[in-house]
Structures are given as C-alpha cells and as structure tokens.
Amino acid sequence: MSYTASTVSEPEFQQAVHEIRSTLAPLFKQSPEYENAFKVLMIPERIITFRVAWEDDKGACQVNTGFRVQFSSVLGPYKGGLRLHPSVNLSILKFLGFEQIFKNALTGLHMGGGKGGSDFDPKGRSDNEIRRFCVSFMRELSRHIGADTDVPAGDIGVGGREVGFLFGAYKSFRNEFAGILTGKGFDFGGSKIRPEATGYGAVYYLEEMIKAASGEDFKGKKTLISGSGNVAQYAALKVIELGGVVLSLSDSKGALVSEGDEGLTSEFIEKVAELKLKGGYLKDLSAPSGFKYHEGARPWTLVKKVDVAIPSATQNEINGDEAKAMVAAGLRYIAEGANMPSTQEAIDVFEGERKKGSDKAVWYGPGKAANCGGVAVSGLEMAQNSARLQWSEEEVDAKLKNIMQTCFRTCYETGKEFSDSGALPSLVVGANVAGFLKVANAAKAQGDWF
C-alpha cells in the first residue's frame, strides 16, 4: 500500500502526512487494520475552489482564488481557520486541514477538520478593499458553510476585522444570524478569550511540560518567540505574566532579539499589536533598550542562552541547523504556537535529544497539541452560540486551561504507551496516536472504512 499524499506535488501536505504516518508506526504494528483507516482519512471529504473577483479603491477589477478544504466531518462540523496570504495554495491548505482533524480531536470537543482561505494579500490594502474582498469571498463560501456544516475562523491575515466583514456578508446573503464563524466580536456572539486563546493555550501546555519534567514553573525562563501576530502577542503576554523573560519577536522582514538578559515588556507587546493592525513591520519600531533588530533573520540562532521556544509565525520556520543551535544554547522545552513550524529535520533533532534521556533532555510539544487552545475556544464559542448565551472571561479561561491540561495528559499517557526510549515520553507520538485513534474509531463506527 502506498502513502503518496497526492499524484501532484504538494510538498507541505506530503510533509504533514509523512510526519503523522511515521509516528503511527508502533500503532500499525500492533493493529495493522488502522493502515486502512489512514489511507481513507488522508483524502479530504471535499475540496471547494472558487473565483473571488473584487473591486479595488481605483475601481479596477482584481481577482483571486478562494478555497475551502472540508477534510473530515467524523467528529463534528468541519472546523478550521481561513488564511489570507499570497503563499496560500492547495498544498498548504490540505496540510493545515489534515493537522486540524487530529488537533480538534485532542480538544475533546465535537469538531471535524477543515481549512480555507485565499491567495489575496491583505498587506497594503485599505479597510474598504478588505471589506469588498471579504464580501466577494463570502458570496461563494456562504453556499458551503453553516452552523452544523462547516464553521470557519481566523488564521494568518484574518483577525477580528475580517471575521466581522465575513459574518456580515453571510448574514445578508443568507438572511440568518447564525454561529457560522468563530472569532466574532463579543457583541455579536463572540467568546471572551478567543483572541488570546491560542497564545495563552500554548503557554498553559508549556507550563504542564515544565511541571512534569522538572517540577518548576515559568519564572525566569528565557523564552524565544517568533512571529508578532495574534499567537505570538498573546503567548508573549502570558509568558511575561508568569514571570518568564521574552527574548524575541519576529515577522516576515526580520527579528527583534535581546542582546543579553533583557525581556520585552507587556507595554511593548501592546505597541506591536497596534502596529500589526495597521500592517506595519517590527523594523518600524525603535528597538527597546537591550534589544537589536536583525534584518531578514529568524531569532533561533541569535541568543547565547535559551530555556523555552514558542515558534508562532508560520510553517517550516525552524530548520535542522537552527534546532541544533537552540539545543547548544540550552533549550529544554519547545511548544509550537504555529502549525508545522519545525521541519522534519528540526523535529528529528529535538526528538533525538529527548531519546538521550539525560536530565538536560529537550522536550518537543507539537503544534496540533500545543496550539489547540484557539480552536478549543472556538468550540466553546459554538457552544455559547447554540445556547444563545455568553460566558465570562474567567469561565472561558478556566475551561481553556482545563482543556490544555487534559490535552497534555492525553499526549503524555499515550506517548508513554507508544514511544520508544527516553526518560520523557514523546509528545508528538502521543498527540498523533491519540488524535488518530479517536478519529479512526469514530470513522469506523460511521462506516467510513472497514
């Protein structure tokens, strides 16, 4: 049986399939029938591709391609974000949708997996252009989504403003006020803590890793963060709140990195949030004292000492050499805020260090577990919409924390059962096996494979 992800070249999707498949080997050895399930589940239930023509501020016609990959509805309505970025293509959306299936399973909530977006570039576009793009995009997407069918959310390039425009467009096309998107404004059905959820959740997951490995907490932990968008900002704020030291942020133009022991302040992170809302870059801000801006660089190789890393920008942003540099600088814990930020070579470096089993072992928390907090609170937003009520910030935050702790425990226990040597169990094996088993067993019960 072959596991070629597609007959056409889809490098990111093939990479994601390989990453999951390789960690399922012990399960397939124990129960070979699950290989059949994998063969079925790696093909999306449906892919929708559509034209998005929209008018720019000069009255000219612009056109982009829109996509929605409805990957799996085994555990609930398709659920996963919309990405607006010029790099968007089917390979990237299939990789993200495939990961999303197992991530959503790990939240313990009833959500299937999907992903969508467009190669539209919001950078440099006015609010009016973004609104007109969102209306055109939703003109077609509105035929394919629904509160019990498919509930998209934000991702790169899609924040509260875009979700608002998309929601308004859906409402006018379909004449219904329904929970068809998450990440909405609080006044029209959004959930408290949804903007914070992915970043906070990754840090809650890390807290569990640190506690389980050493009994310590975040205080004084030197933390490298990449990205400076939604996930990076809230991860940084939570690390600062817990007493950790944030050594870096980055964006598509470069990285801002501490020269020594200085950490970023929450006031500076707020400035970054304002800047990013206007489409600016870190290089536009004057570097805080003790920090230096590195044009065109990523932060991983630029510090002498690091305890924790939270990659939170995009896929394949840590290569094997960068992983080795962090290990040499003392890295102990890495949890992925972004989706697939570590290349396979980087994962091999981290997992290789774990297997050495020393008390200095590196522990790797994969994105599908560590960043599931965002979609988990999206699931809580769906529950609130169905009940037509809203929970307080404290209630949602407590539920998020509980979901991240349970997710960590699931990865830990399953990792212990299925991973090889090492004092600490493999969380990537644990996450993949636990997520896959839940989906595969439900799919079998529904007659999808046999």
CB of 43 to ligand NDP, least distance (A): 22
Least Cα distance to 307 among 217, 235, 424 occurs for: 217
CB of 136 to ligand NDP, least distance (A): 21
Choice from 155, 162, 208, 322 touching ligand NDP (CB under 6 A): 155
157 binds ligand NDP (CB under 6 A): yes
Burial of 115 (0-12, 13-18, 19+ CB in 10 A): buried
CB of 284 to ligand NDP, least distance (A): 11
Active-site pick, 79, 115, 238, 399: 115
CA distance 147 to 178: 6
181/424 with CB nearer ligand NDP: 181
Choice from 50, 173, 281, 449 touching ligand NDP (CB under 6 A): 281
Q: Using CB under 6 A as the criterion, what x/- string covers residues 175-214 for binding ligand NDP?
A: -----------------------x----------------
CB of 313 to ligand NDP, least distance (A): 3
34/364 with CB nearer ligand NDP: 364
154 binds ligand NDP (CB under 6 A): yes
Q: Which residues pair with 141 in a beta bridge?
A: none
CA distance 302 to 238: 23
What number of residues does the chain have?
450
Q: How far is the CA of 369 from the CAs of 201, 407, 447, in angstroms?
A: 10, 7, 27
Residue 128, φ and ψ in degrees, nearest 5: -65, -40
**Are the C-beta atoms of residues 364 and 354 closer than 8 Å to each other?**
yes
415 binds ligand NDP (CB under 6 A): no
371 binds ligand NDP (CB under 6 A): yes
Q: How far is the CA of 447 from the CAs of 21, 31, 443, in angstroms?
A: 22, 18, 6
101 binds ligand NDP (CB under 6 A): no
136/315 with CB nearer ligand NDP: 315
CA torsion 122-128-134-137 (nearest 10°) is -90
171 is catalytic: no
**Are the C-beta atoms of residues 345 and 311 closer than 8 Å to each other?**
no
Instruction: Give the interface size with ligand NDP as a residue count (CB under 6 A).
Output: 24
CB of 281 to ligand NDP, least distance (A): 6
Q: Using CB under 6 A as the criterion, what x/- string covers residues 226-255 for binding ligand NDP?
A: -xxxxxx------------------xxx--
269 binds ligand NDP (CB under 6 A): no
104 binds ligand NDP (CB under 6 A): no
CA distance 395 to 182: 18
For 12, what's the count of Cα atoms within 13 Å in the CB-facing half-sphere?
21
CA angle 367, 368, 372 (to 5 degrees): 95
CA 87 to the chain's CA centroid: 17
CB of 219 to ligand NDP, least distance (A): 26
Residue appearing with tokens 């299939």: 94
Three-state SS for 438? helix
97 binds ligand NDP (CB under 6 A): no
Residue of closest CB approach to ligand NDP: 229
Least Cα distance to 153 among 174, 167, 139 occurs for: 167
Q: How far is the CA of 35 from the CAs of 2, 27, 30, 43, 417, in angstroms?
A: 10, 9, 11, 13, 19
228/385 with CB nearer ligand NDP: 228
Helix (H) or strand (E) holding 164: helix 160-174
253/305 with CB nearer ligand NDP: 253
107 binds ligand NDP (CB under 6 A): no
CA distance 217 to 381: 30
446 binds ligand NDP (CB under 6 A): no
CA angle 50, 53, 54 (to 5 degrees): 140
Touching ligand NDP, residues 302-361 (CB under 6 A):
312-314, 337-339
CB of 216 to ligand NDP, least distance (A): 26
37/134 with CB nearer ligand NDP: 134
449 binds ligand NDP (CB under 6 A): no
Q: Using CB under 6 A as the criterion, what x/- string covers residues 19-48 for binding ligand NDP?
A: ------------------------------
374 binds ligand NDP (CB under 6 A): yes
15/198 with CB nearer ligand NDP: 198
Q: Which residues lie near ligand NDP (CB under 6 A)?
A: 154-157, 198, 227-232, 251-253, 276, 281, 312-314, 337-339, 371, 374
Q: Which residues are catalytic?
A: 115
